[in-house]
Amino acid sequence: MEKPAILGGKPVSKEKIPFAKVIIREEEKKAVEEILREGSLAGGEYIKKFEKAFAEFIGAKHAISISNGTDALFLSYLALGISFGAKVLTTPISFVATASTIIHAGAIPFFADVLNDANLDPKSVQEMFRKQKFDAITVVHMYGKPVEMDEIKEIARENNAFIIEDAAHAHGAEYKGTKVGLLGDIAAFSLYPTKIIAAGGWGGVIVTNSDEIAEKLILLRAHGELRHKIGPEGAYEYEILGYNMRMSHIEAAIAYYQLRRINEFISCRRKLAKMLSDLLRDIPGIAIPEEPPYVKHVYYIYSILIDEKTIGWTRDEFVKALNAEGIEARKGYHKPLHQQPLFKMINDPTINHFAKINKYPNYAEFKLPNAERIAKSTVWLPMHPYLTEEQIELIAKAIHKLVQWRRK
Ligand SMILES: Cc1ncc(COP(=O)(O)O)c(C=O)c1O
Any idea of the CA torsion for 85, 91, 95, 96, to the nearest 10 degrees? 30
Cα angle 89, 95, 99; round to 5: 30
| 391, part of any domain | no
Beta-carbon contacts of 263 under 8 Å, excluding residues fewer than 6 positions away, are 172
| pLDDT of 408 higher than 70 | no
Q: 204 CA to middle of ligand 1, Å? A: 9
- Tell me which long-range contacts 262-268 makes (C-beta under 8 A, separation of at least 24): 262/57, 262/171, 262/172, 262/196, 262/197, 263/172, 264/385, 265/196, 265/197, 265/385, 266/171, 266/172, 266/196, 266/298, 268/385, 268/386
- List Cα–Cα distances, 12 to 267, 320, 323, in angstroms: 27, 14, 10
Is 144 near ligand 1, meaning CB less than 6 Å away? no
Identify the CA nearest to 376 among candidates 118, 24, 2: 118
User: Distance from CA of residue 227 to its chain's centroid?
Assistant: 32
From 22, 66, 70, the mutation candidate for ligand 1 (largest count of ligand atoms within 8 A of CB) is: 70
Which amino acid, 2?
E
Closest CA to 42 of 232, 248, 252: 248
Instruction: Say if residue 132's pLDDT is above 90.
Output: yes
% of the chain at pLDDT higher than 70: 100
Atom of ligand 1 nearest to the CA of 72: 11
What pLDDT band is residue 395 in, cutting at 50, 70 and 90?
A: very high
Given the CA of residue 192, which atom of ligand 1 is nearest to it?
Answer: 10
| 220 pLDDT more than 70 | yes
Q: Is residue 195 part of a domain?
A: yes
Measured distance CA(102)–CA(39) in Å, rounded: 36
What's the pLDDT tens digit per position in 54-65? 999 999 999 999
Instruction: Report whether residue 119 contacts ligand 1, using a CB cutoff of 6 Å.
Output: no
Q: How far apart are CA 265 and CA 262, in angstroms?
A: 5
Structure confidence by residue, pLDDT tens digits, 304-360: 999 999 999 999 999 999 999 999 999 999 999 999 999 999 999 999 999 999 999
In a domain, 133, yes or no: yes
Asked if the structure places residue 400 within a domain, the reply is no
Question: Residue 192 domain-assigned?
Answer: yes
Say whether pLDDT at 201 is over 90. no
Count the domains in the chain: 1
Question: Does ligand 1 lie within 6 Å of residue 143's CB atom?
Answer: no
Tell me how far the alpha carbon of residue 190 lies from the centroid of ligand 1, in angstroms. 6
With 80 as the cut, is the pLDDT of residue 364 above it?
yes
Does residue 218 surpass a pLDDT of 70?
yes
Decide if 218 is inside a domain: yes
Q: Radius of gyration over alpha carbons of the chain, in Å?
A: 22
Cα 210 to averaged position of ligand 1 atoms, centre (Å): 23
Question: Ligand 1 in contact with 97 (CB < 6 A)?
Answer: yes
Residue ranges making up the domain that contains 257: 26-261
What's the confidence (pLDDT) of residue 407? 80
Summarised one tens digit per residue, pLDDT across range 242-272 is: 999 999 999 999 999 999 999 999 999 999 9
We report the CATH number of the domain holding residue 105 as 3.40.640.10
In a domain? residue 246: yes
| Long-range own/partner contacts, residues 214-222 (CB < 8 A, 24 or more apart) | 214/61, 214/62, 214/64, 216/78, 216/79, 216/240, 217/64, 217/66, 217/75, 217/79, 218/64, 220/75, 220/78, 220/79, 220/245, 221/64, 221/66, 221/67, 221/71, 221/75, 221/245, 221/246, 222/246
Confidence label for 43 from pLDDT (cuts 50, 70 and 90): confident
Decide: 380 in ligand 1 pocket, CB within 6 A.
Answer: no
Does a structural domain hold residue 177?
yes
The ligand 1 atom at the shortest distance from the C-alpha of residue 195 is 14
Residue 163 has pLDDT above 70, yes or no: yes
What's the chain's average pLDDT? 97
pLDDT digits (tens, 9 = 90+) for 21-32: 988 899 999 999
Could you tell me the distance, in angstroms and rounded to a whole number, from the CA of residue 319 to the centre of ligand 1?
23
3-state DSSP of 52-76? HHHHHHHCCCEEEEECCHHHHHHHH
Q: Is 166 in the pocket of ligand 1 (CB under 6 A)?
A: yes
The terminus-to-terminus CA distance of the chain in angstroms comes to 8
Q: What is the DSSP string of 149-198?
A: HHHHHHHHHHHT-EEEEE-TT-TT-EETTEETTSSSSEEEEE--TTSSS-
C-alpha closest to that of 104 among 128, 138, 55, 127: 138
| 101 CA closest ligand 1 atom index | 4
| pLDDT at 155 (0 to 100) | 98
Distance 70 CA to ligand 1 centre (A): 6
Residue nearest to atom 10 of ligand 1 (CA): 69
Give CA–CA dist 260/54, Å, rounded. Answer: 9
